[in-house]
């Protein structure tokens, strides 16, 4: 009986990894859309949870993704957020369990020719809860960096900032044009 229970528990722990062969595309939105809670309430008298707003694009803010065109081994990737607003703007992002516990920028790495997703791998991690906060002055920019280590090959890297911005700490998403790199 204990062996059967152990097999059932081990099988259940492997289900999330098996179910995430590909990552879904995230469609751009112009208005926040509520995300509905699909979990059934355990208490019939309980009130439904408040809807969570999806990230929205941020006016007068653009992003540029950058890295050397040819790298070997470990390299630095930067995402620069350009603030064209007339006031300073702070950006904050927490660590993401889908992004190897990195705070920002969020990235997806695709192998050229196959479109196979190389990173993120789909493995979830438990991350600490600190936030990375960077402020862009009016007409200035804020930069987020992270390090990647990829095997030799040709890759397209998609990058974006997803977190909070401004005094109201509104959830935002700012995407950048993908870049192509060669790892030797």
Whether 41 is in a domain gets the answer no
Q: Show the CA angle centred on residue 92, arms to residues 36 and 124, nearest 5°.
A: 60
Residue 177 is assigned to a structural domain of this protein: yes
Model's pTM, two decimal places? 0.68
3-state secondary structure labels for all residues of 7-25: HHHHHHHHHHHHHCCCCCC
- The pLDDT score that the predictor gives to residue 121 is 84
Predicted confidence at residue 106, as pLDDT, reads: 94
Residue 95 lies inside a defined structural domain of this protein: yes
Does residue 17 fall inside a structural domain? no
Structural domain contains residue 28: no
**Tens-level pLDDT at each residue, the chain (184 residues):** 555 555 555 555 555 444 444 445 555 544 444 544 444 445 555 555 555 567 777 789 999 999 999 999 899 999 999 999 999 999 999 998 888 888 899 999 999 998 899 998 878 888 888 889 999 999 999 999 999 999 999 999 999 999 999 877 889 999 999 999 999 9
Kindly state whether residue 4 falls inside one of the protein's structural domains: no
Is 5 domain-assigned? no
What is the CA angle 25-30-32, rounded to 5?
85
> How confident is the model at residue 48, as a pLDDT?
54
Domain count along the chain: 1
Query: Domain containing 96: what range?
Result: 54-183
Q: What are phi and psi of 72, to 5 degrees?
A: -140, 130
Q: Could you tell me if 79 and 105 are in contact, meaning their C-beta atoms sit under 8 angstroms apart?
A: yes
75 assigned to some structural domain: yes
| 150 alpha-carbon distance from chain centroid | 18
CATH of the domain at 116: 2.60.40.2360
Question: Quick one: pLDDT at residue 18?
Answer: 44
């Amino acid at each position: 009986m204990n062996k059967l229970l152990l097999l059932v528990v081990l099988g259940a722990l492997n289900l999330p990894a098996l179910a995430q062969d590909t990552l879904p595309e995230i469609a751009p939105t112009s208005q926040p859309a509520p995300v509905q809670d699909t979990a059934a309430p355990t208490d019939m008298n309980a009130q439904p949870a408040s809807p969570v707003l999806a990230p929205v694009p941020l006016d007068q803010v653009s992003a540029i993704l950058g890295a050397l065109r040819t790298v070997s081994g470990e390299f630095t990737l930067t995402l620069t957020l350009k603030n064209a607003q007339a006031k300073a703007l702070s950006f904050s992002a927490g660590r993401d369990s889908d992004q190897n516990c990195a705070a920002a920028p969020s990235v997806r790495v695709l192998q050229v020719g196959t479109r196979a997703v190389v990173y993120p791998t789909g493995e979830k991690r438990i991350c600490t809860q600190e936030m990375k906060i960077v402020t862009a002055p009016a007409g200035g920019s804020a930069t987020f960096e992270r390090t990647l280590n990829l095997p030799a090959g040709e890759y397209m890297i998609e990058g974006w900032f997803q977190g909070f911005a401004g005094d109201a700490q509104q959830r935002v998403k700012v995407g950048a044009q993908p870049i192509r790199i060669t790892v030797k």
